[in-house]
Amino acid sequence: MSKYDEPQDKLNCVELKLNRCTIMIFIVGIVGVPNNYGGFEALAENLVERFSRDNIPTTVFCEKHFSKSRNYLPDIVIERIGFSANGFQSILYDLIGMVRAARQGGTILLLGTSATAFLPLIRILWPTSKVVVNMAGMEWKRSKWGWIAKKYLKLGEYAAVKFSDKLVVDNQGLAEYVKKSYGVDPGVIPYGGDQFSDIPKKISILEKYNISPFEYDFALARAQPDNNIEMILDAYSRVPKDLLFISNWSSSTFGREILERFQRYSNIRLIGPVYDPVEINTLRSFSRVYIHGHSAGGTNPTLVEAMHAELPIVAFDVNFNRHTTENAALFFKDSSELESIINNLTSEDRTKVAMNLKEIAERRYRWDQIYEDYLGVLLE
């Protein structure tokens, strides 16, 4: 090879850098950044921090009332939409974001399927825009939706599969479902959880909650039925172990009913939403066991974060959780099974489970790798 010939890998590297400079990315479907809500917001936050670092122009659509500064990060533009990103308003919210993004060109990363039923129209009106959809999970299966909403969400799932340029799922179980249902192989990109590695832990926070290190179990989930909150609390109402459960109890009728029913148990602490990363990291890291009840999603961010925290995990027995943990967690199907696991869990069991899950987390769930995987999809 002549000294004037460039190696192919070097040429590919130059091309990738050029693409990173020229691409415009639009993120649609989240409440806002930085994250103070949930999984998609955590994904968006970690991606845009790296987009900014790599000087990739990015626009993020956020709720109008979102209080964070417009000058969030260099090269990151925040655009407001006057509807809620959740509930029935999310259809208009996502649709407006898609239309604004498609009119400007570039690549749209659409998080969720609230408005994907309109994707065929978007493709006709703005055929040059690229749309990458992360479908999250089987949203239409969630028990909180009525039959009309479920039919609409099922239609949105179909449209996401058939009319997106690329479909991304966060769990192999979801990929298998899409392949079986639609004959399409989606890309599989999970969430990271290592963002808490450098966040400090403060014993003073435990004192605030009047708890001692490794003498309580921990759970964190939104107050909705498919997170099996009632099942978890029912089990702990019968075991002599303390449980600290963080959720948005006051945000729904279901949450308020759960709060009223279980707050009378002295070993159960039902705490409202906590968004401070130091506080969350402290409460989670000093717990004895992490209890994970999610059933309808894919790879849940809180599960991956608990794996990185080297916690023993007891998870609801569904294929998504088994794929995420490579079957290395402990699993329960009902409150009696969870009760039995908690009562019989030894320190040796906890240590073995925690170490195995930590190894998996380090191997599979790091944000830098996930960022590169998303770039590969967005730059295709």
Cis peptide before 34 (omega within 30 of 0): yes
Distance CA 315, CA 294 (A): 8
Q: Do 66 and 98 contact (CB within 8 A), yes or no?
A: no
Encoded amino acid at 180, one letter: K
Q: Do 96 and 79 contact (CB within 8 A), yes or no?
A: no
Distance CA 332, CA 155 (A): 32
Distance CA 103, CA 126 (A): 7
Distance CA 166, CA 173 (A): 18
Please provide residue 59's backbone torsions phi and psi, each rounded to the nearest 5 degrees. Answer: -115, 130
Q: Do 75 and 93 contact (CB within 8 A), yes or no?
A: no
Q: SS3 breakdown of the chain: % helix, strand, coil, rounded to 5?
A: 50, 15, 35
Distance CA 136, CA 122 (A): 21
Please provide residue 311's backbone torsions phi and psi, each rounded to the nearest 5 degrees. Answer: -105, 145
Nearest to 163 by CA among 181, 177, 184: 184
Q: What angle do CA 100, 102, 106 make, to 5 degrees?
A: 115
Q: 3-state DSSP call for residue 164?
A: coil
- pLDDT per residue as tens, the chain (380 positions): 433 343 444 334 334 444 555 689 999 999 988 877 678 998 999 999 999 999 999 999 999 877 555 567 888 999 999 998 888 899 999 999 999 999 998 899 999 999 999 999 999 999 999 999 998 777 766 767 788 888 998 999 999 999 999 999 999 999 999 999 999 999 999 999 998 888 999 999 999 999 999 999 999 999 999 999 999 999 999 999 999 999 999 999 999 999 999 999 999 999 999 989 899 999 999 999 999 999 977 899 899 999 999 999 999 999 999 999 999 999 999 999 999 999 999 999 999 999 999 999 999 999 999 999 999 999 88
pTM assigned to the model: 0.87
